Amino acid sequence: MKNKHRAAIGLFLSVLWISSSLNAQSLNLSGYVRNGTGVLTQGDHAYSMLQNTLSLNLEHSRGNVAFKANPYLYHYSDRDLELGLREAYLDIYFDSIDLRIGKQQIIWGKADGVFITDIISPKDLREFLLLDFVEIRIGITALKADYYLGNHTVELVWIPAFTPTRMPEENSIWRATPDFPIQPAFDYSEKEIKETLENSEVFAKYSALTSMIDFEIMAGYAWDDDPTLHTAKTMDPNTHQLTSLLITPRHHRLSLLGGSVSVPAGGFVFRSEGAYYRDKYFQSSDPNLSDGVLKKNYLHVLLGTDYTLWEVKLSAQFIQQAILSYDEQIVQDEFENTMTFLASKDFLRETLRVEWFSYLGLNHRDALIRPRITYNLADGFEIRTGANIFVGSEGKFGQYDDNDMVVAKVKYSF
């Protein structure tokens, strides 16, 4: 571990040295240092988070080429130092075409805090959905080509190697435990996707930004970022009792077609986004199924609006996930409805922001409520305090009912 620390610190010092050496050649160095502390409000008030972060952005451009690298360092009190590279890519600009090659975050769609057509960059869910969105998206190695005609854009993305969702670790408070009748055994031998050309992912998007409407139409041939848990059961032939369960996580191919629009109307901005997923796998409780899963087509849609009333920025979204040709044995509901609400207001000449964001799960009557206050003590220096309150006993948010917490963050940007 000490060696890891030394390597990480050595690398960062090298980055800083290179930065200062190249400064004369207009290397742009920016980033932030942040401390985050979270305390659970229940039980023995354990720390939910004790994290120090250093994130650097190194950017340089010369003529029609540019690069960006975003190394980051997470320091925890109870975990190994984590050194990562969120992005590291090269840009080449032509008259009507831009190419981006390397590790990058690609974000599509008009939804806020909901992932519908925004599935290119997989998610880091180690802290559930509580990280800043730029930290939830995992950078992926890709070739991205954009062709521009005025305010119309055609974008093609090729991802040579699959990256799955990063799930919470074994002992994490965010680790969701599926409800099995007996203790299962796991076989992870089929979880990896071999890095071959055949296993690459491709996405395409046509988008336009016009006075009347902004829209995107997209299609993708991808892998499901979340593994399907194939379940093999062994029954006692005499008692017909379940004697063993073997869970085999496996990623499956997925194709999707989707789009999003954003339309201004008076003081409102209306947004919508939707995607049709073909061949998505769902868990089933049907005892006759050999591996406990069913393949179905699936719709994920959103309607939302933004409005400002008495200088309070308001936003509401309704989201529905619908499994087509539904089978009653599927564990997930046929229709799963969620809403989000955001209200925020700035005070003291935009140095103080009071914000309220919430997810509401309508099926399970659960919720995640996130009030927070951010104060800019000086330019680029902010103090944030808030809470993450989980309501309910089941559902996506209710399952974390014991994880209510208060959080404080201090961040210096440079």
**Which residues contribute to the site for other proteins (CB under 8 A)?**
30, 32, 59, 61, 66, 91, 93, 98, 105, 107, 110, 132-134, 137, 146, 148, 150-151, 153, 207, 209, 211, 214, 262, 264, 266-269, 306-308, 311, 346, 349-351, 376, 379-380, 382, 411, 413-414
Amino acid occupying residue 115: F
- Residue 337 phi, psi dihedral angles, 5° rounding: -110, 135
The least CB distance from residue 341 to other proteins, in Å, is 17
Euclidean distance between CA atoms 139 and 142, whole angstroms:
9
Pick the closer one to other proteins by CB: 218 or 323. 218
**Residues in contact with 162: Cβ distance below 8 Å, sequence separation at least 6, in sequence order:** 193, 195, 199, 200, 201, 223, 251
Query: What beta strand segments (E) does 289-393 contain?
Result: 293-309, 312-323, 335-347, 352-361, 366-378, 381-391
- Of 164, 162, 160, the closest CA to residue 126 belongs to 164
Amino acid occupying residue 319: I
Query: What beta strand segments (E) does 179-284 contain?
Result: 185-186, 201-209, 214-223, 228-235, 242-250, 253-265, 268-283
Pair 329, 286: CB distance under 8 Å: yes
The least CB distance from residue 257 to other proteins, in Å, is 21
Pick the closer one to other proteins by CB: 135 or 279. 135
Strands 97-104, 140-149: pairing is: antiparallel
Pick the closer one to other proteins by CB: 167 or 354. 354
| Matching residue, tokens 């831009």 | 98
The least CB distance from residue 49 to other proteins, in Å, is 19
DSSP 70-84: EEEEEEESSS--EEE
Neighbours of 268 (CB within 10 A): 13
The least CB distance from residue 72 to other proteins, in Å, is 14
The least CB distance from residue 400 to other proteins, in Å, is 24
The least CB distance from residue 150 to other proteins, in Å, is 7
Pick the closer one to other proteins by CB: 40 or 119. 119
The least CB distance from residue 402 to other proteins, in Å, is 30
Pick the closer one to other proteins by CB: 142 or 323. 142
Pick the closer one to other proteins by CB: 11 or 107. 107
Q: Which two tokens stand for residue 365?
A: 């009557």
